[in-house]
Amino acid sequence: MDIAEAQKLAWENKSAKGFNTTDVALEFGLLTAEVGEAFTAWRKKLPDFGEELADIVLYAAALAEMNGVDLDVEVARKIEKNVRRTYERNADGVPVRTSDG
């Protein structure tokens, strides 16, 4: 399944079930809660860690749909941008971006 298909199916499910499809601020709040749930699942080594990561993707897809963003295109564009960027480690060993490529 590609990102565009996942975005479409996630939106159809939200609409069919009567979930939030208009309140962007609420969706950001729900996404934040899902990130917390994923962190807890990872930290406690719970078996639903993967499911919690999937929830994050689905909430991000809903936010994209609410705002007319083609997430498939944006993810591809961002990956290309990240590949071109260069980094060097500073004196503390932290990678610092040196160019956008």
- The per-residue pLDDT for 53 is 98
Helix (H, G, I), strand (E, B) or coil at 47: coil
Residue 40 in this model has a pLDDT that exceeds 90? yes
**Domain extent listing, the chain:** 3-84
The residues, any chain, with a CB within 8 Å of residue 50's CB and separated by 6 or more, are: none
Average pLDDT, the chain: 97
Gap between the Cα atoms of 67 and 69, Å rounded: 6
Superfamily of domain 3-84: MazG-like (1.10.287.1080)
Q: What is the mean pLDDT of residues 8-23?
A: 97
pLDDT band per the 50, 70, 90 thresholds, residue 55: very high
pLDDT band per the 50, 70, 90 thresholds, residue 63: very high
Q: What is the mean pLDDT of residues 50-61?
A: 97
pLDDT band per the 50, 70, 90 thresholds, residue 42: very high
